Amino acid sequence: MKISIISDTHNKYKQLVMPDADVVILCGDATSVGQEYEIANFLNWFSKLDQYKYKIFIAGNHDWFFEKTPQFVKQILPDNVIYLEDSGVEIEGIKFYGTPVQIDFCNWAFNRPEEKLAKYWEAIPDDTDVLITHSPPLGILDYSPMCGKVGSPTLLNEVTMRIKPKVHCFGHIHHSHGVLEQDGTKFVNASVLNDNYKLVFEPIVVEI
C-alpha cells in the first residue's frame, strides 16, 4: 500500500502537487483558524482527490471547528472521506488510528496538559500499523528554533515501547519536516509549510 502524507496546509492545499498513491493522509491543520467556511472548502478539495481510493484526515490545533462543533462536522463530512478523532479504521488489512490532541500550545484547539495526554496515547491499540497524530513524540522531528524539542514524552514512550507502528505520521512543527526511520518505525513529519507559513515542502510518500 502506497500512502501520500501531508500536514499543516493552513488553507494552501490547492497549491500542492499531489502524487499518486492508494491512500492520502492529512495530519491536521488543514485550516488557519478553523472557521466553518474553511472546513467546508478543505473538505470540498480533499473529497475530490480522485487519484486516491481512500482519504483520511485528523484535525489539528488550528482546526477549531472540529472541537467546538463535532456533531455538525459529522453531518458535513463527505461520504468518501474518513475523519479520525481518537478512533481507527482498517483498510485492506492495514490498521490506521488518529488523534488530534497535543501539548498545550497558545491555548489552541485540542490542547491538553502533558499529564492528561497519557490517557489518549494509552487508548491507541497495540496493533496499529499507521499512527496519525498532529504533534510529534519527544525528540523525533520535533525541533522548533524558538522552543527547542517540543514533542510529547508520553507519546514517545507509547510509540517506541508498546505500539511500534510501521508508520507514525504527524506535523505541527513546520521546521522539522522530514522522515526518520528508527527501530522499525518510519516517522514522518509531513508539514508542507515552513516556519514563515510558506509552501516549500512536498507531500511525503511511504509504502507499507
Q: What is the pTM of this model?
A: 0.95
Residue 168 and residue 161 in contact, taking contact as beta carbons nearer than 8 Å: no
Tally the residues of the chain.
208
Give the residue with greater pLDDT, 34 vs 14. Answer: 14
Query: CB-based contacts of 128: which residues, under 8 Å, 6+ apart?
Result: 88, 95, 96, 97, 163, 165
Sheet with 23-27, strands from edge to edge, namely 82-83, 54-58, 23-27, 2-6, 204-207
63-95 pLDDT, tens digit each: 878 877 777 777 889 999 999 999 999 999 999
Domains of the chain: 2-207 (3.60.21.10)
The answer to whether 203 and 27 are in contact (CB under 8 A) is: no
Phi-psi domain of 164 (left: phi exceeds 0; alpha: psi -120 through 50; beta: other): left
Question: For 148-181, what is each residue's pLDDT tens digit?
Answer: 888 999 999 999 999 999 999 999 999 999 999 9
